[in-house]
Amino acid sequence: TLDRILRAADSASRQLVERVRVAYLGPPYSYSYLAATTRFGEGVELVAAGTIAAVFQEVAEGNVDYGLVPLENSTDGRVVDTLDMFARVPAQICDEVQLPVHHNLLGRCERSEIREVYSKPQALSQCREWLATHLPTARTVEMTSTAAAAQLAADRDGTAAVASREAAITYGLDIIAENIEDRTNNITRFAVIGDHAPQRTGKDKTSLMFEIAHRPGSLADTMAVFKNAKINLTWIESFPVPEDRTGYLFFVELEGHQNDARVKKAIAALSRRTLRLEILGSYPRASRPV
């Protein structure tokens, strides 16, 4: 609570000096909105974007100072749309936010009357066991965001939404069932993108994206760079190169700052083994929420 108060005070004071604009996957009271207010407070100007691609575009065109996009979930893993945009649009990660996500079943009817459940694909996936057990005959319908699902559920009979408690309050919905996520420790990690390099803290991580030759042993040879430099990797994901049937991009997060001697040496060695290498940014490691 104190952290949120301090962030709000900092946000308000910065707005007195400069107008800070932050794009997020909207509409208001989506989980991306909640992550944005957690990181920046409510004193900044929040700009709702219809898609993750639109958030990247707002940043690339200089319309906003920062963008906030979901990166991975502790239940479902990577967010494909975000990785795809890193592959397509130049972007720098300057911070991360970890948000505990508690899903609720929202509506204006009894549970027995629900015929359809609306939400974002990731939210439906994170509640699939609960939905299968408690609403086995209800049809699930994918939406662009949890908040958009809540808006729709407010206008249609026999429908419900999987969304946040804040969305229930905003759109005048009842909480039919709370905390319906299949895993209680359900956390989504968000990346803050923008042309702002944070100061080195000594407790940083660095994100890289690279492409390697499509031949036997090339990945093992590449990963040996980090082993030889005694650098710990905290995340690795592979992703198909856009418009290429055989190539893959690898997203890697490692402990340390890109200006640390060991990390600089490893990146230099990595550049000699890759077809494409991009440093997506160095930023403070977020503590895992409890």
3-state per-residue secondary structure call for 38-96? HHHCCCCEEEEECCHHHHHHHHHCCCCCEEEEEEEECCCEECHHHHHHHHHCCCCEEEE
Q: Which two tokens stand for residue 87?
A: 């592959």
User: Are the C-beta atoms of 134 and 159 separated by less than 8 Å?
Assistant: no
According to the model, what pLDDT value does residue 2 have? 56
Residues of the chain with confidence (pLDDT) below 50:
9, 11-17, 290
* Residue 108 backbone phi and psi in degrees, to 5: -125, 30
Of the candidates 122, 172, 170, the one whose C-alpha atom is nearest the C-alpha of residue 142 is 122
According to the model, what pLDDT value does residue 134 have? 96
Of the candidates 61, 2, 72, the one whose C-alpha atom is nearest the C-alpha of residue 35 is 72
CA atoms within 13 A on the CB side of 45: 10
Q: Residues 45-57, buried b or exposed e (16+ Cβ, 10 A)? A: ebbbbeebbbbbb
According to the model, what pLDDT value does residue 288 have? 62
User: Are the C-beta atoms of 87 and 209 separated by less than 8 Å?
Assistant: yes
CA atoms within 13 A on the CB side of 257: 14
Instruction: Give the dihedral of Cα atoms 269, 271, 273, 279; nearest 10 deg.
Output: 110
**Catalytic residue set:** 188, 190
According to the model, what pLDDT value does residue 289 have? 56
- Helices 52-60/80-88 angle, 10° precision: 30
* Residue 43 backbone phi and psi in degrees, to 5: -85, -15
| β-pair type (204-211, 77-78) | unpaired
* Residue 185 backbone phi and psi in degrees, to 5: -95, 60
According to the model, what pLDDT value does residue 74 have? 83
Map tokens 């929420």 to a residue.
289
